[in-house]
Each structure stands twice: as C-alpha cells, then as structure tokens.
A = this chain, B = another copy of it.
C-alpha cells in the first residue's frame, strides 16, 4: 500500500519514520507493507529528518496512480479541503489529523467519501483512539454524554495554578517556555481547539451538525488564584471541559472552564494529558486517557488509520450512512441548565449582600453555598463567592447583566459553570 504524506512537519516526519522503524510489526498487523513513497512540502530546501523522496508539487502528487492513500497534514482549512476533495473524487483513501478541516467540513467530506476509506483518528486527542471508540467500541450505545479534557495547554496551566500555586500569567509563561503553549495562545486557552474536537466527536455520537461559531466557547483567561482557592476548599478542581450531552431531542455542546468534583476520574487528569469520559446507556461511564499532542503520539493515530485501511476497514467515515437519530438539533445556549459558581468583588457595606441575594432570587437563582473572604487588596472592598443550585443559563446571564449595573460591584462579575 503506497502512501503519500502531504505536509512533512513534526507529525509527518514521525509518520514516515515510524512506518520505517516499526515496519515488521506493522506489516504483520496490516497483512501488507505500508510504504511512504513521497512527502509533499512547501520548501524543498528546508532540512528534514526523513528518508523518503520529497516533492513540492502537490497537484501532480494527488494525480499519481501508484498512490493508494493520502495522509493530509498540511494545516489550514481551505487548501486541505480543496486537496482532500480532489483525492476523494479520485476514490483514493484519505487519512487526516486536521481538526479544523473536520470541524467545518466533516459532513461534506463524508458525502464525498461515500465508500472510500477516510480516517481521522489523529484529529482528536492525539494518540488516544477516541474516534474508534465512539465509532466502533461503543456502537451499541446511545451516548448520554461526552466530557473531554482535550487541550493539553489549558490543562497544564490549570494544573500549575491548582498544584503549584502559580497565577494565570506565570503558568502561561511556564507553558510557553516548555513549548506547551504558542506565542499567541488564544486558540488553545480560548477553548477553540477543544471546540473543534468536540464537534467531531459529537458528529459521530449524535450525527449533530454545527460549526464552531454555533456553540458556547469560553476560555480560561479570567481564572484567578482566588477561584482556585475556592475550588480547592469546596472539593473541586477547575478543568477546561468540552461537553456534549443529549437533552431530550437536542444536543448541548459547550466548551468552558468547569468546577469538577475532585473524586471524579476526569478531575484526576493533570498536566498536558488529555482524557475523554464517555457515558453510554449500556456501558455506563468509560474514560480514555493519554497524550493529546506530540509528533509520535499523533503519528500513532495516523498509522492506526493506515493499518485499518490496509486491513480493509469498511466502516463509514462518521460511523453511519442513514441518519443516526431523527433531527437532533443543537440546544440553544440560553437553555443550558447547570450549577454555577460566582466570584463578585463588591463594596464592603451594609445591605450589599441583601441586594445581591434579592436580585438573584427575583431571577430564579438559588444559592447553594456561600463564602466571604476577609477584606483584601483595597480597603472597603470584599470578595464574595457563591454557588447556585441548578439554574437556567438565560437567568444567569440576566443576573450578571443586572449586577454589572450596580454601584457596589467593583469588578466585572465572574462565573464558572459546575459540572457534577
């Protein structure tokens, strides 16, 4: 089986190198040799640590008759979409690690692919076989929920704040120094990376459509040491979670930092590691843990797709051809129901607490726990922390809007959702 690797960066080099290094065992498992015959790069002059022929002419490579499978590792959305579409029209198999491509075009690609094999295990959670798990391993189940820690950068920062006492800026700087965060970390810490992955998983589990712009995405940038202290005191950790849940005939998709009870398995996932908890109606809760990034771990997923193709895998790209369930639509963001945590910086004055609690109860929020910290920072101000019983997102937003207008509020009110 001849393979072309489109994009020979960190992952592409590892794919070529592992195919050669583990050739014997891969051949035994595949039933045939998997040979990387060409790599496509933009710049032929750049030095690369690979032993395969290179080409800079992608359009001639995708027309070659001797190539059986194309591995797309180019990055971006539009150009990969053009290239992958051309390849699928020629009925050649595709393997990709490109989550953005799939977050925007997965259903169009599934239609184009039809019976042509299309692998994308590497697009979510690096080396963890979570696509295979949802598409095949748990295929007997109605999926009740998916909760993932799928961004290693964010989990590293939150773990550093939780265990090491760092504040957000210090933790981000450490992550950048260690190569875990980009110079511009927005895509990771803003929740967008996790949102792309969530959309991919949700399309397998539920057949639900949607672009990243359609779902609730909040990042971890506003989390402070005070939030961490509160969480710790009340037996929670803070994790950036990507959540998919079936609610009646709708699916709720959201990415945001969440307070998670310490004794939950997913709360125990620290540092750059990823994990995805999946609850099925038959299997109950299962969890999948491992490195969510890195050249070799991602290459492990890419090559597992190649081996599946060599073995003659016939499973449809997203795991189904006829609709999975009847018209599952996205739940509107205002209709989300969960528990909430608030941090409010207020004037230290008689009557303030009464005003807040009145405002909340008038808007259907009921307080579950409350903490007031001794006066800090500036004289005459105090920080209030409280959590609510299960409430409606629309009510919470209205309360935050109303609080902002009050004179006694000294900082923008901050809220984190609780996931139990």
Contact = CB atoms under 8 A, between A and B. Distances in A.
A416 interface: no
A129 B140 contact: no
Interface in A286-309: 286-291, 294, 296-297, 299-304, 307-308
B325 A25 contact: yes
How many copies make up the complex? 2
B312 A283 contact: no
A265 interface: yes
A260 to B, nearest CB: 14
A90 interface: no
A296 B324 contact: no
A319 B140 contact: no
A137 B141 contact: no
Contacts of A140: 18, 22, 26, 299-304, 307
Interface string A15-26: 000100010111
A323 to B, nearest CB: 7
A282 B136 CA distance: 23
Nearest to A303: B140
Nearest to A308: B136
Given A265-B268, A268-B268, A283 B287 contact: no
Contacts of A265: 268-269, 289
Contacts of A288: 286-289
Given A313-B314, A314-B312, A315-B311, A282 B268 contact: no
A281 B22 contact: yes
A95 to B, nearest CB: 12
Given A29-B319, A313-B313, A320-B29, A18 B282 contact: yes
B284 A137 contact: no
Nearest to A284: B291
A127 B268 contact: no
B136 A300 contact: no
Nearest to A278: B290
Contacts of A312: 312, 314
Interface string A319-333: 111111100000000
A138 interface: yes
A20 to B, nearest CB: 12
A133 interface: yes
A193 interface: no
B132 A300 contact: no
Chain A to chain B: the 7 pairs with minimum beta-carbon distance, closest first: A129-B137, A140-B303, A286-B290, A127-B283, A283-B300, A282-B300, A287-B289
10 contacts: A22-B140, A127-B280, A127-B286, A129-B133, A133-B137, A138-B304, A285-B290, A286-B290, A288-B289, A313-B313
